[in-house]
Amino acid sequence: MLHHITRAKLIVSVLTVLPVSVFADVYKCLDQQNKVLYQDRPCQKLTSAQLPPGLTERVPHDDKPPFLWKATSAGGTVYLMGALPYGANAVYPLSDTITEALSGADVLVVGADLRALTQAELLPIAANLGTYSDNSKLRDHVKSATWERVDKAINALGIAEDAILAQKPWMAALSLMNRAAKQAGYTQELSIDKRLVKDTQMQKPVLQLDSVEEQAKLLEGLTDNEQEQLLLQSLTVVERGDDYFKTLADAWMKGDTSTVEQITRRRFETVPESDKIFKLLLVDRGGAMAEKIAELAADGRTYFIVLEVGYLVGEHGLPNLLRSRGFEISRPRFE
């Protein structure tokens, strides 16, 4: 029997996508071959032989580079890592190229560090921006055909109808993606940004490039029709089943920028007004990030920046944007 998600729990879980306020304990250990592994209990309490293969054995890669770029200017050096919004054991351990770049950096930067927000602080953000305050419902703001697809999706995903009905289309879109990813075996708890923050927070500063509030306000500023387009995007992914998440994860592990770009762009091409939404959410936001990154690099320190992978690929990706600002761009390869 499917377990339905309550409205309050769903709101909190959705906001942590945008990525997390509560981190599970993660320990960095060495296995019998002195390879780094991560586990959820102290090192001496679990041997590598007891861990899932994805945490202890390196997955063979071809000669493609990892999702890591090095941007160098006269002022300093920035490493840009593209990360998936969800994680699974199969993506670990990270390559030595990535861990060594992080180790040599002075500062870790993430897209949104929700450790600064308590659970009590997250709820008002959801209530004020992501839900309706006039007693109207989601189905009142979208086409009947869209609501029919939503109804089928929430039944398949085990989400209670009343949890979705109160949400605006942009938040409902995130709710569906979050639940579909979890059902496919990918969770926020295993996302790379959370692992890296947990691993480095006692060793070096962790900065936040933007905030969950900024992201939520950007989505809230969309018209009802534009928000419905985002919801339709998520519905298309949900209706594909596990294939979307697996294909994206496989491409990421291979360092396949072309496939990741195709997957990212394809989501926008499935709905009307795709160019406008793509520009607002990826092109314009990416440009603002590039400006912030250039400012950071000017202070001479080395930064390791982890952002959602969609911002690093394609013509409007951050490597190209920084190159146009005078940075020398390269891609470190697997060891």
Render pLDDT for 188-243 as a digit per residue (tens, 0 to 9): 778 888 888 877 766 889 888 887 778 888 888 999 899 999 999 999 999 988 88
Q: What does DSSP say about strands 27-30 and 36-39: parallel, antiparallel, or unpaired?
A: antiparallel
Domain holding 212, by residue range, is 7-20+67-330
- Above 50 in pLDDT, residue 49? no
What percent of the chain stands above pLDDT 70? 74
Q: Give the residue from 126, 120, 103 showing the smallest Cα distance to 178.
A: 126
Structural domains of the chain, count: 1
Q: What is the pLDDT of residue 329?
A: 96
Q: Examine residue 174 and state whether it is found in any structural domain, yes or no.
A: yes
Cα 91 to chain centroid, rounded? 14
Cis check: omega of the bond before 53, within 30 degrees of 0: no
Q: Examine residue 41 and state whether it is found in any structural domain, yes or no.
A: no
Q: What does DSSP say about strands 77-83 and 302-308: parallel, antiparallel, or unpaired?
A: parallel
Q: Examine residue 92 and state whether it is found in any structural domain, yes or no.
A: yes
Give CA separation, 163 vs 70, 155, 171, 237, in Å: 43, 12, 11, 20
Q: Examine residue 37 and state whether it is found in any structural domain, yes or no.
A: no
Q: What is the mean pLDDT of residues 131-160?
A: 94
Q: Examine residue 31 and state whether it is found in any structural domain, yes or no.
A: no
Global pTM exceeds 0.95: no
First to last CA, the chain: 46
- Angle CA 204–209–214, to nearest 5: 140
Task: Check if the beta carbon of residue 297 is closer than 8 Å to that of residue 325.
Answer: no
